[in-house]
Structure 1
Amino acid sequence: MGNLTFESFTKKIYLKSSLKKLYWCWATKEGICTWFLSSAQYATKEGEIRKMDEPVQEGDNYVWEWHNWNGQEKGQILFANGVDHLEFSFAGSCKVSIKLKEVNSFILLTLNQYDIPTDEKSKMNIYNGCSNGWTFWMANLKAYVEHGILLNETENDLTNEPLAGHIFVNM
């Protein structure tokens, strides 16, 4: 393993699910809103809105919203092979790669966030914040696909808690 730096991080998790189900969880509005987001919209390069169960394609734009956060994340799908690999822009200039690989009777999900700026604000909010966030959301995905439950907070309104994203473990 290489040295850890603030420019990127990798998170991995084994999931008892199918490639098809996990790709659906990441690459469709219907899928990503089951375990991760409160709202998602995908639009083609031509501006046509994708249907709920229609997989994203390279060049699509997205708008994401979470429970308990009033902001939006806007970005672009950079790569989508329809099977086991997806990449998208995220958190400004960063990129996120999702790779799925069959290993025995599991799927190994590898998430890599890279091109992270190394100024002090980015180290705290992107490297630290996103690294912690993805750790939770990948565990939430495991709870969803393996046990049919969600761990994220949807009943208590945390939007008025100034540091909620840094102190609540299930944002």
Structure 2
Amino acid sequence: MENLSFDSFTKKIYIKTDVNTVYQCWATKSGIEKWFLREAEYTSSQGHLRNHNEPIEVGDSYIWRWHNWNGQEEGTILQANGTDFLEFSFASDICKVSVTLEQKDKSVLVTLMQYEMPTDEKTKMEIYNGCSCGWTFWLANLKAYLEHGILLNEKEFDLTDIPQAGHIYVNM
């Protein structure tokens, strides 16, 4: 077994669906807003805003806004092959996230890796710990959405004014 390191982590989940369905949930505005974000904006490297069902491409920039958090995430699409792999800068461009999709019988193995993270104490707490917990929930939310048509994230109650809500509530 490899030694624990705070510069990366991997999360995996099987989802009973096909690769194309999962890829569309990650790689389009309409897809990612169904299970993950309140709002996503993708802008091509030529400066045009991508429409709801237009797939992301390498060089696109993104702005993501979540439910129950007033902040936003901005980054760049580093890789997107149109079928089963994408990579983007994340956490104010201090690290990268990749998503790999593999068909396994009637399921897709989703492998999310977040890596190239600094290992100072602040990053360990906010990025390693926070993102590791966050991705665990969001991958489970994607599975619930695709397999059962339900969402687990909190939309009914406004948690934005609760200090440390992201560390207390499991479904943000």
TM-score class normalised by the smaller sequence? over 0.9
Partner of 1:82: 82
Q: State the number of aligned residues.
A: 171
TM-score normalised by the chain length of structure 2: 0.98
Identity rate, percent: 63
Read off the aligned partner of 2:136 and give its amino acid letter: T
Contact 2:18–2:106 at 8 Å: present in 1 too?
A: no
> CA–CA distance in 2 between the matches of 1:5 and 1:34?
33
Partner of 2:20: 20
| Contiguous gaps of at least 5 residues in structure 2 | none
Structure 1 residues 127-162: Cα deviation after superposition (integer angstroms, max 9, x where no partner): 000000000000000000000000000010000011
Taking the TM superposition and a 5 Å limit, the aligned residue runs for 1:1-80 are 1-80=1-80
- State the 1:18 CA deviation: 1.0
> CA–CA distance in 1 between the matches of 2:6 and 2:79?
24
- State the 1:77 CA deviation: 0.2
Tell me the secondary structure at the aligned position of residue 4 of structure 2: coil
Tell me the secondary structure at the aligned position of residue 145 of structure 1: helix
Taking the TM superposition and a 5 Å limit, the aligned residue runs for 1:98-117 are 98-117=99-118
TM-score normalised by the chain length of structure 1: 0.99
Of residues 99-108 and 126-135 in structure 1, the stretch that sits farther from structure 2 once superposed is: 99-108
| Contiguous gaps of at least 5 residues in structure 1 | none
Partner of 1:137: 138
- State the 1:46 CA deviation: 1.2
- State the 1:2 CA deviation: 2.1
Structure 1 residues 18-51: Cα deviation after superposition (integer angstroms, max 9, x where no partner): 1111000000000000000000000000110001
> CA–CA distance in 1 between the matches of 2:102 and 2:18?
10
> CA–CA distance in 1 between the matches of 2:80 and 2:3?
29
> CA–CA distance in 2 between the matches of 1:140 and 1:111?
14
